[in-house]
Structures are given as C-alpha cells and as structure tokens.
Amino acid sequence: MLVAGVGDRSARSAQRSTEQFRKGMKAFLYSCLVAAVSAVDEHSKSTLDGLIKDNGKTLFEATANRALR
C-alpha cells in the first residue's frame, strides 16, 4: 500500500513538472514570436522610410524623373 502511494505522488509530481515545463516553453515561444513580429515591423517601417524620397515619391520614381530631365 505504501509503495502505491509513493507511485501516485511520483506520477503527480511528474505531471506537475511537465505542466510547468510546457507553460514555461509556451511563454518563451510567445515572447520570441512577439520579438520577431516587432523586429519585422520595425524593419518594414525603416525600409519604407528609406524608399520614400522627393515629396512622397519612391526612390524609383525620383530617379526616373531625374533621368528624364
């Protein structure tokens, strides 16, 4: 009977540890996702800002207009 009680406690402890590990991994992966989305957003903003030139024209439009002059 004592052995069965130890086995039950051991199983519950393992289950708790597994749940804690899963929660920790989920939080870690979510924070990685947030960081990645934030980095992509920042990169796209800086790329767009770099492309906009000459009164709202894109770099391509501004260069083409200069070539035509």
Interval 4-58: pLDDT, tens: 677 789 999 999 999 999 999 999 999 999 999 999 999 999 888 877 766 667 6
Q: What pLDDT score was predicted for residue 47?
A: 83
Q: What pLDDT score was predicted for residue 69?
A: 61
- Specify the DSSP class assigned to residue 55: T
Distant-in-sequence, close-in-space partners of 58: CB < 8 Å, separation ≥ 6: 51, 52
φ, ψ (nearest 5 deg) of residue 54:
50, 70
Q: What pLDDT score was predicted for residue 39?
A: 97
Q: What pLDDT score was predicted for residue 12?
A: 93
